[in-house]
Amino acid sequence: MAFSIRIRHLALAWGLLAAGSLPPRADAPPEGFKVAFLGDQGLGSSSEAVLRLVKREGAHALVHLGDFDYQGNPPAWEDQTNRVLGPDFPQIALVGNHDLSFWGGENGYARYIRNRLDRMGVTVQGEAGVQCSFKYRGVFFILTAPGLMRGGHADFIRRQLESDTSAWRISAWHVNQARMQAGTKGDEAGWGVYEESRLGGAIIATAHEHSYSRTHLLSSMSGQAIVSREGPLRLRKGRTFAFVSGLGGADIRPQYSPGNWFASVYTATQGATHGAMFATFHVDGDPRKAAFYFKNVNGAIIDSFVVISELERPIRPGITVEPSIPRTLKFDPREMGFPPEGTARLYDSTGRTLLYIGNLGKPFTISLERPGLMFLRIQSGNRLLLRKIVILP
């Protein structure tokens, strides 16, 4: 007898859509929409060289990941951008640790950032550059300042991603966790912002460490659980990647932090020079395909990879039922993006425990006496998730 499985989401935004072909999106990015990412900039020839690179590459927008000029001189920083890119060039910027003392006020960084967003014509929800979200040309941006300003950034990211339906989502802030950068930075952002971004399928963009690094596709940021080392990177809710683009013009630092979860590392140890990350959305006629690359000011491409957005497809839950006797349910929590340090309990409608798993780092199976209603309880720290699984004859 053949069986099918239907998963219904009862807790967070890990809901599943019906399988099948996906219709074209009316709000997709325009074909060839290119965004540059850089941070840790400064004033002077190296910083201007990176801005000229952004212009040469034909970027349509720039995401500045914080630490603008290191001199507490917002007008000079604004003038540098205007001289190279122009006063109306779309720039999306967020606060860095070196920007805090000169953030507010009539000539503070915040004013210049808000004014440029106004000229871009975007509607910003929240405080620009600190804790806000908006959609620009089909890409949903969430900017936060964990470890620097305000609080509740992880909750803010979760709420924004739960209410958004974009195929492309960028979650950006300045500081890092130690294992998410290749230098000497410590745990400053907290894992909450990383994990909420991952659960919502958002690409994570940071700076702070003066180098470039990019992770493999991960199903746990705090546990660095690698989904795949091969391309393309198939972005889904529960699996994403993070990068540090901190070669915007300031000093360049060596590598101190190794990790097999890094797909690419470019630091002073590798002879790095300044550059920026570029992402071109809607390539090859496919609005769900993007081409990413990091390029230095000398024209060398250091890292390049393709990303496919599958946020609207079913998350392949790694659950299959074999119509053998006894019937066997195979469950792979890694494919569902659950953290490996979590626990799981599978129980039936009477409350009888069918299976308890103390570590979600590997697949497991269970023999079913008969089809019926089951519940899966996932616990990770103080977070409780619940999914209902219905097995139909």
Q: pLDDT tens digits for 256-310?
A: 988 999 999 999 999 999 999 999 999 999 999 999 999 999 999 999 999 999 9
The CA distance from 245 to 247, in Å, is 6
Does the pLDDT of residue 47 top 90, yes or no? yes
Residue type, 300: A
The CA distance from 390 to 393, in Å, is 10
The CA distance from 64 to 245, in Å, is 10
CATH of segment(s) 33-309: 3.60.21.10
3-state secondary structure of 3: coil
DSSP state of 110: H
Phi then psi for 390, rounded to 5 degrees?
-115, 120
DSSP characters over 147-184: TTS-S-HHHHHHHHHHT---SEEEEE-S---GGGSSSS
The CA distance from 215 to 203, in Å, is 11
373 CB neighbour count, 10 Å cutoff: 11
The CA distance from 193 to 178, in Å, is 14
CATH of segment(s) 316-392: 2.60.40
Phi then psi for 159, rounded to 5 degrees?
-65, -40
CA separation, residue 90 to residues 116, 206, 226 (Å): 7, 19, 34
Please state the rounded mean pLDDT for residues 31-60. Answer: 98
385 CB neighbour count, 10 Å cutoff: 18
> What's the pLDDT score for residue 368?
58
Q: What percent of the chain has pLDDT over 70?
A: 80
The larger pLDDT score, comparing residue 177 to residue 368, is at 177
Q: With bands split at pLDDT 50, 70 and 90, how would you rate the model's confidence at 313?
A: low
Domain boundaries, given as residue ranges, for the chain: 33-309, 316-392
**Does residue 114 contact residue 94 with C-beta atoms inside 8 Å?**
no
Gyration radius (Cα) of the chain, Å: 22
3-state secondary structure of 312: coil
Please state the rounded mean pLDDT for residues 183-207. Answer: 96
Query: Which residues neighbour 306 within 8 Å (Cβ) at sequence distance 6 or greater?
Result: 231, 232, 233, 289, 290, 291, 292
pLDDT digits (tens, 9 = 90+) for 83-132: 999 999 999 999 999 999 999 998 999 999 999 999 999 999 999 999 99
Q: With bands split at pLDDT 50, 70 and 90, how would you rate the model's confidence at 344?
A: confident
Quote the mean pLDDT of the chain.
85
User: Which two tokens mark 392?
Assistant: 């139909």
pLDDT digits (tens, 9 = 90+) for 378-393: 777 767 666 555 554 4
